[in-house]
Structure 1
Amino acid sequence: MRTESSRLVKHRDVLIACIAMLVSVLLLTVVQYLELDARFRAEMSTQAKIVGQNSGAALVFDTVPDAQEVLLTLDAAPDVVSAELLRQNGSVLSSYRRKSAEPGWLGRLAGRATVAHDVTVSGARVGRLVVEGDRTSILHDLIKFGAAAACTIGIALLLSSFVSRGLRQRVQAAQERTRYLALHDALTGLPNRASFQERLDEAAQRAVAGAAQQAVMFIDVDNFKQINDLNGHGGGDRVLREVAERLQKLVRPGDVVARIGGDEFAVLLEAPVQPAEAAARVATDIVERVPRPIDFDGENLRVSVSVGIALLPRDARNADDAMQCADAAMYQAKREGKDAFRFFSSALGEEIRRRSSLEADLRVAIGEGQLVLHYQPIFDATGRAVGMEGLMRWRHPQRGWVMPGDFIPLAESTGLIVELGLAGLRRVRADLDEWRRQGWAPPRIALNLASTQFKRETHRQRFLAMLKELGLTPEEIEFELTESTVFEDITSPDSVLESLRSRGFRLAIDDFGTGYSSLSYLRRLKCGKLKIDKAFVRDICTSQEAALLIRSIIDVAHALEMQVVAEGVETEDERAKLLSLDCDLLQGYLMAKPMAPEGVRQLLLG
């Protein structure tokens, strides 16, 4: 269809060019005709004037032979066909007519031109000479000019056609390349998200119409960021290309494999027989065969994938819902340990609706200021409060208190964590101002930061601008970052760590031991504090390995001039054990739970 359309466009362009050239030839011919006609008449006038001047004596003396002799000189003028020399009274003294003066068809077409000239002698008019000329020569010259112009234009058309054919071919190739790139992923050559969405839309329509059931898979490469970090983008690209090739080999020729994101792929099984069973077979092959080792510069890279499956029209009736369902099933597979596949279920559907409702309420809560900070003190070995951690809390008008474990991960996955972080800064500013009004100066407050708050430069700049706008100082607040946050940011040229550090803010590594757990990174980070995750603290009294691990962490941190904070201290035995290991600071329910601003003030003032 596109080829036929291109051919029609090409023929239309050629026709337009020919018509334009023809019009040009006609216009040039008309101009040339006017010029030739004017020149012909000028020549006839000149001849009439010359002959008329020589016939003056014949008119004065009324001598026909002399007049006849003068008129015979017109034989030398090939275009003159007849002439009459008239006396002053208008009678004919003599006439001339060329032999074979009858015009042919071209002469009849050209017509004749008549020129009259008054003959004078000593300024007095003695007669009149009337000359008639054949305009055939004008048409002869005009035909020659038109033929030459047509040939010139024809040659130009042929040359331009030859040149433009190559240009059209290059333009067409560029257009085809552009169309290809618009619908395909440059790295893997697979259809991209837009192309896959189009195919999925068509499949969904057929499924809803009852023509055929469809199955869509959402595939994510597990821990792909670690592969990129350890092997560079070259290793990451190698993995993505290999995963793409393996996926294509595991589906039928009519099925669609696409790359729809950084490390995300999708598969559309077109009209499979028994779609659930077919999808399960393909997903099993994907989970088992895609993770085979991938060679990169002599090193075997190992990957695994998590797969989510949705069936149309059972689970969804349009492309967007189908992708959402498959995505939810994929995340369920990740939550259950990765390297597996899961089908979308009604329970997952209910979870999606619950999350959507909670997300909408969270947006309202941020806008209406429903979020508040509760503060959990941090104590030194003597029991003195030397700091507080600000923890976000949400009291919903209908839901009541919403657990942080419910809305914080939701905020991170939806991008609302950016606005949540800014709301936290505004809230701590308001609490500090209220405490100052009451005459109390609290210890420094620690706020948690997530990596998703700084993925974009605009997010970083908004956060730093808010700090400046609110006038929050390093004496008032410090920041806690998870291991994943600092390690993702450490190599960035615009590191948020350096941005905060250069402004004088103290930094702490939160939940140490749950992320990369690499002690070698600590020297590069130059943070003032290290917080040991409560998962290690709870086993300190029952596990010698846990105690040895905490001892090692404390020794390394002290060697790097870092303070160590133990989180989740809940028993007196845990407190005593941590202090015996030279832990600097303690935080947990044993000493104080997170409290509202007024409660923490009362507790610390005694």
Structure 2
Amino acid sequence: MNVLVVDDDEVDREHIRRLLSKSDESFNIVEAESVEAGLSCYDNTNFDVILLDFSMPMRDGIELLIEFRGRPKEECSAIIMMSHSEDDALAEQCITEGAQDFIIKSDITEARLKRSIIFAKARFKSELRLHQATQEKKNLELKDSLTGLANRDCFSQVLAIALKNVATNNLNLGLVLIDIDNFKLINDSMGYGTGDHALIYIGQKILSLLPEGTYLARLGGDEFAYYFTYTTAFDSALHTVNQILQITSKPVILEGSVKVSMNVSMGISLNEQGKHTANELIRDAEIAMYRAKKQGGKQYCFFQESMQLQMRRRIDLENGLIRAIDTGGFILHYQPVFDQSGGRLWGFEVLLRWQHNGESVSPDEFIVIAEETKLIQPIGEWVIDTAFSELASWNKKLGKQLKMAINLSPVQLETDDIDQYISAKLAQYNLDSILIEFEITETALLDFSELTTKVIWRVANLGCDISLDDFGTGFSSFTGLQKLPISVIKVDRSIMPKTQDDKANKKLFGALIMMIDYLGLTAVAEGVETIDQYDYCRDIGVERLQGYYMQKAAPLSDELMEQLLN
């Protein structure tokens, strides 16, 4: 039997050791002189009994007792408190705090100590069985007996704790409530046994789609719920919601070869303002779920109307982008770029435009969605193919060597073979690579990976120029200028002096142009919209200019080309 003796008095420890050595039972005794040493021994060895002195320097034995009993019951041992004091109140306190026995040191004999150890072990085993039974009963009370998932009471408790945690960690929380459409029809037409199997099946299917650690509950009947946390965006959570809708839309074969269709309706409520209680959040999700059912089922709704409209808008645009890729729904506009020395046409910046259901959707809106969904990769390839085709056609027609600047998204730069695609298209349209300039945004330099760096270098090694767009917007990375083959810098339009008296921007803009020139790079001014801006840029030696003052972006045509070249 393993026994831990925690006592700062060496004489008392020796007395205990001598008494136990006389016993017929074999004892493995470990000694500790302090609370800290006792804790260390306890963490490294399993003990059957702990003999603990009440009064010790620095920290009393009662503190160690309380710390032991704060741990899970299954990890504890039987504890006997020892003291020279005969105070009944002290003995009562020790028993109340979780000791199995209390003995006065002056009363300790071989028989008394052996009997105390036997009784303490028996009491502890009895307490442990009672504790386990209580836990099992509690677990049964908090679990759904059919699915084995948490029930409504348990979920409400866990959700309340989660709401407190997100409030202290600056997070937001969302709740998803799931209800099986026409579940009553399954029960009525196929029997309650089939209905039960359906509930078990759908609970397990939903659970398999949720991130590890997500708390799924059956609230009652055919309602399930789980919550998720997020900072600002919750695209991954919405992806899971769509997966649940998709997997539940397929008919399944249950026990007894019964084929069942189980579409679901889902309600989502958000706690972004931190004002909801657990029950209020569940209530709002239920309202949203019933709204989804009212609209035909097989879908989800948000409780917040503004969020609902926002997500509908996003889903509509995402689906529209997919259709546009298949049907060719994009068009390209070309912003003329002029070489300021002589005012010659240098070429064009390629700008993507999209008409969706009669609406001209802003690139600021749809490009973000395209990047988040990775749709920018096929869209970007279409842009490169179309722009190369246009440039080759017009250069051949005009007998010119006009150039084009094409934007590469950070997502495209994560594609290992983008340089191969560019090389193949250059060959297909018989284009010289020096006619192509690829723009990367300044924000891409904030966290460019090793792969991104290699991809940019491989594109540059094809002979294409690399330009840095939106320079000066607050994310400037001179490390990027050193590590990447950048030859052109486009100064952001926000820095362009608005008037002749705009001295602050004139100083900043002028300083940037001087720096770019000093580095031996080409400077491009965007957003030249007035004759004063045009004259200012020419006066300080900006090499290339583009903006409304010279020409707005538009599709290429014979009329436009004639105007630009003359």
TM-score normalised by L of structure 1: 0.46
| Bigger CA radius of gyration | 1
Judging by fraction of residues, say which structure has more helix.
1
TM-score normalised by L of structure 2: 0.49
